[in-house]
Amino acid sequence: MLLEQLVEQAAQPPGYDWDSYYCWLFSQLAGREVTDFKYWLCKKCLTVNSVYLPARYGKCRSCGLIHLPDEMGESESKTGGAAVQLDIHLFAGLKCANTQLPCHGEKEFSHEFPDGITIRQLRDLLGIDPTIPLLVMVNNRGAQEDLVLTNGDRVALFPPIGGG
């Protein structure tokens, strides 16, 4: 009986679920649970990249440009992959907490970001805790988090501070 089951099982094609295997493998590599992955094309340098999902952004392994999730789909990006150069200034203990960015741990830096990025998306990319209320200044003027940033903008983020 057991021998017949073994022979029958051996005759079956292997039942590998490659998608599940790759999700497990990528979860091990990413250090977090990965539910899916996909490949995307960088619109700046035309490099094929992979991204583990869910993801807040993708970073091109060749040119380092950051792409937002809506730019990594199969459809044409509304931004065309263009980039804006931003000067970022973080105050009162804020630092870039995203280990994937070259500015990790820095308070003042200049970096390329996708065209059409908002302050809220920038905050997510920098890894700043979304529960912390921030005072946002763009080009020395107060701004809301839904403001779309343009090339050359100077962005300053201040967490609440106290004193007397």
Interval 81-102: pLDDT, tens: 567 889 999 998 898 888 877 7
Pair (63, 110) in one structural domain: no
Domain holding 21, by residue range, is 14-74
Residue that is last in its domain, among 24, 43, 74: 74
Residue 136: which of 89, 104, 68, 98 has the closest Cα? 89
Report CA 2 to chain centroid distance, whole Å: 51
CA–CA gap between residue 134 and residue 117 (Å, rounded): 17
On whether both 67 and 106 belong to a single domain, the answer is: no
What percent of the chain shows pLDDT beyond 70?
A: 76
| pLDDT digit string, tens, across residues 137-161 | 999 999 998 899 999 999 999 988 7
Q: What secondary structure letter does DSSP report for 71?
A: G
121-134: average pLDDT:
87
Between the alpha carbon of residue 52 and those of residues 18, 22, 84, the distances in Å are 15, 10, 25
68 with 92, same domain: the answer is no
* Whether the model pTM is above 0.75: no
Q: Which conformational region is residue 105 in: left (phi greater than 0), alpha (psi within -120 to 50 degrees), or beta?
A: left
Whether residues 104 and 54 share a domain: the answer is no
Cis peptide before 102 (omega within 30 of 0): no
Same-domain check for residues 91 and 148: yes
- Please tell me whether residues 162 and 102 are part of one structural domain: yes
Establish if 7 belongs to a structural domain: no
> What proportions of the chain, in percent to the nearest 5, are helix, strand and coil?
20, 25, 50
In three-state secondary structure terms, 142 is strand
pLDDT at 141: 92
* Contact in structure between 89 and 155 (CB atoms under 8 Å): yes
What is the predicted pLDDT for the residue at 163?
Answer: 66
CB atoms within 10 A of CB 134: 19
Confidence of residue 75 (pLDDT cuts 50, 70, 90): very low
Domain boundary among 53, 74, 95: 74
Q: Say if residue 132 is in the same domain as residue 156.
A: yes
Residue 18 sits in the same domain as residue 69: yes
Going from the C-alpha of 101 to that of each of 4, 43, 88, 127, 162, the distances in angstroms are 57, 19, 13, 10, 30
- Does residue 120 carry a pLDDT above 70? yes
Q: Are residues 115 and 164 in the same domain?
A: yes
pLDDT grade for 76, boundaries at 50, 70 and 90: very low
Instruction: Identify whether residues 66 and 88 lie together within a single domain.
Output: no
